[in-house]
């Protein structure tokens, strides 16, 4: 793994911060950063909701990538490709400085995990998804069923009245809507589809935390409008998740 000590330390601090707010019943919004921060955000939310409500959280992970490689299956060693593996216990480390601080109360169940928007998934990740029966909706599913039906199926899988953590990587959107991101992949969600996902999750009344990650204006060329458009898209996603409606 690349820089595990630093990433572990940062995500542990994030987990403590998110936990401190979520245990008080506040909806926690976190702006990233790459998607490795979800080790902290989801770990903190999971612990707080277990203590406050005695319940497990569900996670809706909106992303072009599955981010569920283990250190053994990863070809790059990038931890931002591994957060879901650590959060589900599929990847473990005993060393406190290398994510050993993640305990049972920080983890989530693969049965309460739903992916939306996948289109760039490593072979090892495909195997992990299949072997663990993880619910995943790729862009093929969205093209076939439409985003409305996909959201109905996703929320039905989670179950009603389940606390939801929405973790949204802006690269789930097609690069025409959000070009200033680290790993853009063509053929993604429209901004309207992304907004709809956020609107649907808000309407459940069960949203307890939101991550928006991978908005990186520094990746746009000088005087390029891509950075501005990506920030606008990110702001739209956040507003919709917090309850802004069209009417």
The domain that holds 42 is classified in CATH as 3.40.800.10
Instruction: Decide if 104 is inside a domain.
Output: yes
On the question of pLDDT at 222 being above 90, the answer is no
Residues 42-61, mean pLDDT to the nearest whole number: 98
Active site residue: 34, 63, 141, 199, which one?
63
Annotated catalytic residue 35 = yes
Range of the domain at 64: 4-241
Residues 195-206, mean pLDDT to the nearest whole number: 98
On the question of pLDDT at 97 being above 90, the answer is no
Instruction: Decide if 94 is inside a domain.
Output: yes
Instruction: Decide if 210 is inside a domain.
Output: yes
On the question of pLDDT at 92 being above 80, the answer is yes
Alpha-carbon distances of 107 from 39, 98, 142, 165, 240, rounded to whole Å: 9, 16, 28, 13, 27
Q: What are phi and psi for residue 217, nearest 5 degrees?
A: -60, -25
Residues 222-228, mean pLDDT to the nearest whole number: 85
Annotated catalytic residue 224 = no
Instruction: Decide if 75 is inside a domain.
Output: yes
113 versus 219: the higher-pLDDT residue is 113
Annotated catalytic residue 21 = no
Q: What percent of the chain has pLDDT over 90?
A: 93
Q: What are phi and psi for residue 190, nearest 5 degrees?
A: -75, 165
Count how many domains the chain has: 1
Least confident piece of the model among 142-156, 196-210, 217-231: 217-231
Task: Write down the mean pLDDT value for the chain.
Answer: 96
pLDDT digits (tens, 9 = 90+) for 169-189: 999 999 999 999 999 999 999
On the question of pLDDT at 221 being above 80, the answer is no
Annotated catalytic residue 211 = no
pLDDT of residue 93: 85
Active site residue: 34, 80, 122, 195, which one?
80
Q: What are phi and psi for residue 159, nearest 5 degrees?
A: 100, 150
Instruction: Decide if 247 is inside a domain.
Output: no
pLDDT of residue 186: 97
Annotated catalytic residue 94 = no
Instruction: Decide if 115 is inside a domain.
Output: yes
Confidence of residue 130 (pLDDT cuts 50, 70, 90): very high
Count other Cβ atoms within 10 Å, centred on residue 190: 14
Instruction: Decide if 58 is inside a domain.
Output: yes
End-to-end Cα, the chain, rounded Å: 47
Q: What is the pTM of this model?
A: 0.97
Instruction: Decide if 246 is inside a domain.
Output: no
């Amino acid at each position: 793994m690349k820089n595990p000590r630093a990433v572990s330390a940062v995500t542990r601090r994030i987990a403590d911060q998110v936990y401190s707010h979520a245990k008080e019943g506040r909806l926690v919004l976190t702006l990233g950063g790459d998607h490795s921060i979800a080790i902290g955000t989801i770990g903190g939310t999971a612990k707080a909701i277990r203590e406050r409500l005695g319940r497990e959280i569900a996670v809706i992970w909106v992303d072009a990538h599955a981010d569920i490689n283990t250190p053994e299956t990863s070809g790059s060693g990038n931890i931002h490709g591994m957060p879901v593996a650590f959060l589900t216990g599929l990847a473990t480390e005993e060393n406190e400085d290398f994510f050993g601080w993640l305990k049972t109360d920080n983890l989530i169940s693969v049965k309460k995990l739903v992916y939306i928007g996948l289109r760039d998934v490593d072979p090892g990740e495909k195997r992990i998804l299949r072997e663990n029966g993880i619910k995943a909706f790729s862009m093929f599913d969205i093209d076939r069923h439409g985003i409305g039906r996909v959201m109905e199926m996703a929320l039905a899988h989670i179950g009603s009245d389940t606390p939801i953590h929405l973790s949204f990587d802006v690269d789930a959107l097609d690069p025409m809507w959000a070009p200033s991101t680290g790993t853009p992949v063509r053929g993604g969600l429209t901004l309207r589809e992304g907004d709809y996902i956020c609107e649907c999750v808000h309407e459940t009344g069960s949203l307890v935390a939101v991550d928006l990650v991978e908005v990186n204006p520094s990746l746009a060329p000088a005087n390029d409008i891509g950075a501005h458009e990506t920030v606008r898209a990110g702001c739209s996603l956040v507003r919709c998740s917090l309850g802004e409606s069209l009417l």
